[in-house]
Amino acid sequence: MRATSTAVPDANEVEDGGAHAIRGFLYQFDTTLLEMVQEPSRVISFEQVQDFDDEDSFTQVKCYPSRDYAPSHIRKAVKKLFVHFARGDSRRPRLFCHFRNMTPGSTLVLKSDDLERALTTDSANYTNGLKSEFINLFQITFREDYETQFGRLCELLRKNLNVSEQGLEVVYHGMLRNQILECLNGAREDRRASFSQLSDGIRKVRAKVSFDGYSEHLDSERYIKLIRTQFVRHRLYSGPTAIPSDRLFVIEAFSDDDVHKLTAVAWEIALTVIYNPHTHAYGGPLPLLNVRGLSPERHVEFKRDLFDTLHRKKWSFIDGTPVTDHELQVRFVTKDIHRTRPRLRLVTDAVAQDPTVLGHVQEVLQFYRREPLSLGTANCYHARIQVVSSDQVLRILETRGTARNR
């Protein structure tokens, strides 16, 4: 009888299997990014033949922070690599893995007995020559734990992307990870990129910035400051020399928001209309505003509050939403609306997603909780910024009193 392994997963690992699976997936992402950033022009494929591969090798990535190394823990990964190798792929098979008792950077050669155990009853289907060839090429490399690898990756991102602002590398890390996810959601043959291509994508038109999962590395105040200075401030408040452009703001409301908070956000957006202090005139297209996630009742309440707030400044908004009530209609009729200056255009989700509307938009700033609104904005600047509260949105957009007193 063949002896069975006595290695048993840690009890906490069994009970928290979902969290370990997610952490393992993120570890795989970071391992891939680390390979890419060290050779920016090297093209790597994601989840095609293995976890990642390039022209010289194909690689499996495993992370077992609660386990000591034992050959039984890598059998499944070894078999996957061998089966693919046996199909005629002559590139080097590799296994990158982390175990708590193994020194990062150390390597191990697979023993023939361990390969036999990994193949189990399928071993008889393959020649000894093929197995020997696999063992000669195959190498196990032990890696750092999740946190250490993340820190090393962020340091390389700082150098490679010339990051000057402390903490911005964490934001870029999230954007790069999201770009790889978008590759994975595409056609199988398109799941490939180099680090140079990914970083060019960040610098150009589409940015998705995630705060969730980075709170231990980047507190809310630093996140707000970085987003404000890197992605918002220079685009919205450039003074009288700014080029007028159609802007769409998409705000996902939070369940605990009161309407005054949303009105404060809308007020800041109204202030982005270009103002010339020399002529005391406003110019350029009115910003489009889509507020998501409100019930019809709360939407009406928000618009009433927004109407009253803007009217005190002799401003108004163009209502492109069908949600209304008698009281709001009366305000529009009786408050000398013709004497006010429109400062906003309110639109629905459907209008915000309409290709005709998007064809006129040059910039999109979207603030979301979980997933951003899907928009076909391939040809314009589109920043998708994750927030944990409407207060964060307000802090990112606020003009700190400079425009509030116009």
Domain-wise residue ranges, the chain: 11-150, 206-397
As a whole number of angstroms, the distance between CA 388 and CA 59 comes to 36
As a whole number of angstroms, the distance between CA 190 and CA 201 comes to 15
As a whole number of angstroms, the distance between CA 154 and CA 273 comes to 37
What pTM value is reported for the model? 0.62
Q: What's the confidence (pLDDT) of residue 140? A: 97
Q: What's the confidence (pLDDT) of residue 4? A: 35
Instruction: Work out whether the CA dihedral 346, 347, 352, 354 comes out positive or negative.
Output: negative
Q: What's the confidence (pLDDT) of residue 111? A: 95
Q: What's the confidence (pLDDT) of residue 370? A: 79
Give pLDDT < 50 ranges for the chain.
1-9, 11-15, 205-206, 238-243, 400-406
Q: What token pair was written down for 23?
A: 């952490």
Q: What token pair was written down for 104?
A: 């990062």
As a whole number of angstroms, the distance between CA 26 and CA 20 comes to 10
Our CA angle for 12, 13, 16, nearest 5°, is 80
Q: What's the confidence (pLDDT) of residue 171? A: 78
Q: What's the confidence (pLDDT) of residue 131? A: 96
Q: What token pair was written down for 244?
A: 């007028």
Q: Which residues pair with 61 in a beta bridge?
A: 96
